[in-house]
Chain A
Amino acid sequence: MNSNENNDMLRAALQRRAERMAPAKGWEQRVIAETTGRQRRRWLKWPAISGAAAAVAAIVIALLTPNASEPPTPEQQPVIAMTEPPRPIAVAQNKGAAPQKESAEAPEAPAPRRRVAATKELPEEPAPSTQIDVIINELEIEESMTVEQELAALFAMAETETEIFSAFATSFDDIDPIIFSTYIIELQ
């Protein structure tokens, strides 16, 4: 028996074995799904990190200034004016002889005028409670879609990293990326 015959027999035996070990149909789909899923997760890492920081910052700001984004009710305006009378009058009553000098050196400088002025400049319509609400409203008005639908459509259309990235840039270029990243976290 010559070497070529041996090679043929060996090749045939290896082929039989390879056929026994061949993966079942459909194995390619898992590879594609896993690979594209990893790419998306890699792209979503940066909003996850910055979004978490943004979420914490938003909560802290909301706790520290609970009424900052809400207009004062009509009942609140006179209360502010009545409970904090102009400072010079109070200084004049307490210090007597040198009211102007003491007034000028007062370490605290509450700004009742500024508060009143701010109250006057508030918009007539109540503002949304958070900036996220603003984004939701804008998206619904402009796209007639929820953010979830918008992103679902975005992911469905964008198949590559480049496409996802450019879609982020074009579709959401008018949105603060930190706020947008908060959405990504909520959707995950």
Chain B
Amino acid sequence: MLIAGLRRGDRRALSEALSRYGRLVSSVVGAMTSDPRDAEELTQDAFIRAFGAIKSFDSNESALSTWLARIAYNAAVDHLRRRGVRPAEDVSDTLPEPATEEPELLPELLDEALERIDATERAALQLVYFDGMSLDEAAYVLDTNANALSTRLYRIRTKLARIINELKRKQ
């Protein structure tokens, strides 16, 4: 019903989609920028882009939420490229398996550490740990596969722990 309404351009359907998925989309783009104004503009642009392309949405391929999140992620990547920021490449497949030991994260320094990792790394964390997506769903958004994403998430957490340790030494 919602998708049919969006395809018709029904105003109530637009409003419902914004209400239902606004938090998800703003969460994805918010993870990739450090400026709330940019985040707001990107959220709007992502929805405008998605509603303009709603006829190409295939419900057999993905859920509407993950499709919207993917458009939001791509809009944010485009935004970063326009700003001259080069998103980190996903090199999980080329690296050896990480150690199984879980690094320790300290809450007082975690906020600052999150600002120091790459935007796409924050987005991966956001999708899985905050938005509650499965590895398959998050992998679809990030255009990778679940195994690579799992490895990458562990590396990001290790990176966070290393940054926190560095911050602790400086204190």
Contact = CB atoms under 8 A, between A and B. Distances in A.
Contact of A17 (B8, B52, B114): B114
A39 B48 CA distance: 11
Interface in A4-21: 6-7, 9-18, 20-21
A31 B27 CA distance: 17
Given A1-B104, A30-B44, A31-B51, A13 B31 contact: no
B104 A21 contact: no
Contacts, number: 109
B48 A35 contact: yes
Nearest to B107: A9
Contacts of A13: 107, 110-111, 114
A6 B47 contact: no
Interface stretch (B32-40, B88-96, B135-143): B32-40
Contact of B111 (A6, A16, A35): A16
B28 to A, nearest CB: 10
Contacts of B14: 31-32, 35-36
20 contacts: A2-B102, A6-B105, A10-B105, A10-B125, A11-B130, A12-B107, A13-B110, A17-B114, A21-B30, A21-B33, A22-B26, A28-B18, A28-B19, A31-B51, A35-B9, A36-B9, A36-B14, A159-B9, A159-B10, A160-B10
Interface of B: 8-11, 14-15, 18-19, 22-23, 26-27, 29-31, 33, 36, 39-40, 43-44, 47-48, 51-52, 102-105, 107, 110-111, 114, 122, 125-126, 129-130, 157, 160
Interface of A: 1-3, 6-7, 9-18, 20-24, 27-28, 30-32, 34-36, 38-39, 159-162
Given A10-B157, A21-B26, 4 more contacts: A7-B129, A22-B23, A36-B9, A160-B10
